[in-house]
């Protein structure tokens, strides 16, 4: 083979490698952006969805107070306090799910009002009317929640009982917050993930893509956001946790599999319960069977 031909072949090899590397890099960054960027609902969109699925008329009648709380690294969180019509010193902080906002928490408010709680709802970072940023699937969100807990205790000094309730990403945030030993009396974690990797693997499986796409996304997340998918593991916060946690999961949830809640219930050091709601899909348990849901929460509170 002539020197000229060898040179041409080598050039083509380098070109092919460069093109493949560029494609990989673009794909990795694109997948990272898809995973870490929130396509947020507006407050109006979220409230309309809630109103289409259950009676939200209580919201207009209840005494409300809006304010902001400084979260991690000075990030501003928009918060709303819903005062129970009956005087009470029990409070619950409710954290909504991915792409939703504080109005996504409204479905749980009537239950907690009936159980004698004042309710604090808020927009997770990157959600609602908060400033645009990326999500971290519980890493910074848990720090935000810890600061919100401290603010709540300072703002409402009459508190005799303070609990947490989270749905989906809100559940992951609630569980991850346990690592900071928050001053709360209990937590309810609905359809949360034990680790983000298994959720992403399940997601690509549902759209018939090979699971190595998750690894490609992880490379992009490391480069662009300086995090790793394997850092997003709420279950790791439970090793020494002694705060009682009630895990609830829809039995028909094929997005975040019910095994996530079962794993976390087994992992936590303290008291835990884990209940499945038959036929309920992701984040739909309280709408599928509100009476059963309320009984699980009520019985759990009596037990703890």
Q: Tell me the pLDDT tens digit for each residue of 146-158.
A: 999 999 999 999 9
What confidence tens digit (pLDDT) does each residue in 65-94 have?
999 999 999 999 999 999 999 999 999 999
Q: Which tokens in the block code for residue 249?
A: 């999961």
Q: How far apart are CA 286 and CA 249, in angstroms?
A: 10
Quick check: 266 pLDDT over 80? yes
Name the packing angle between helices 169-176 and 139-155 (round to 10°): 70
Using the predicted structure, report yes or no on whether residue 14 has a pLDDT greater than 90. no
The domain made up of 40-195+232-303 has a fold known as Rossmann fold (3.40.50)
Instruction: Name, in order, each residue with C-beta under 8 angstroms of 189's C-beta and a sequence gap of 6 or more.
Output: 166, 171, 174, 175, 245, 246, 247, 248, 261, 264
Write the pLDDT tens digit of every residue in 30-63: 999 999 999 999 999 999 999 999 999 999 999 9
pTM > 0.85: yes or no: yes
Q: Where do runs of H (alpha helix) occur along 156-241?
A: 169-176, 196-206, 212-225
Across the chain, mean pLDDT equals 95
Alpha helices in the chain (DSSP H): 3-36, 43-53, 57-61, 109-114, 139-155, 169-176, 196-206, 212-225, 259-267, 285-288, 290-303
């Amino acid at each position: 083979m002539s020197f000229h031909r060898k040179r041409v072949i080598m050039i083509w090899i380098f070109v092919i490698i460069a093109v493949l590397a560029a494609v990989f890099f673009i794909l990795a960054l694109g997948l990272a952006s898809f995973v870490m960027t929130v396509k947020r609902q507006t407050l109006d969109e979220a409230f309309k969805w809630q109103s289409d699925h259950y009676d939200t008329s209580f919201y207009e009648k209840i005494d409300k107070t809006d304010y902001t709380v400084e979260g991690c690294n000075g990030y501003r969180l928009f918060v709303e306090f819903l005062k129970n019509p009956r005087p009470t010193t029990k409070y619950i902080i409710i954290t909504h799910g991915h792409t939703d906002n504080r109005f996504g928490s409204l479905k749980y408010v009537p239950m907690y009002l009936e159980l004698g709680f004042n309710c604090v709802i808020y927009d997770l970072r990157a959600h609602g009317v908060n400033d645009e940023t990326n999500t971290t699937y519980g890493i910074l969100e848990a720090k935000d929640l810890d600061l919100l807990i401290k603010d709540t205790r300072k703002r409402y000094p009459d508190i005799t009982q303070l609990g947490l309730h989270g749905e989906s990403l809100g559940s992951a945030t609630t569980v991850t917050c346990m690592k900071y030993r928050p001053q709360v009396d209990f937590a309810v974690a609905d359809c949360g993930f034990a680790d983000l990797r298994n959720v992403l693997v399940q997601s690509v499986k549902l759209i018939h893509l090979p699971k190595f796409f998750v690894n490609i996304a992880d490379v992009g997340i490391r480069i662009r956001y300086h995090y790793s998918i394997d850092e997003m593991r709420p279950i790791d916060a439970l090793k020494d946790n002694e705060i009682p946690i009630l895990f609830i999961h829809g039995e028909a949830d094929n997005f975040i599999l019910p095994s996530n809640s079962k794993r976390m219930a087994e992992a936590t050091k303290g008291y835990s319960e884990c209940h499945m709601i038959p036929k309920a899909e992701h984040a739909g348990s309280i709408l599928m069977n509100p009476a059963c849901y309320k009984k699980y929460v009520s019985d759990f509170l009596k037990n703890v």
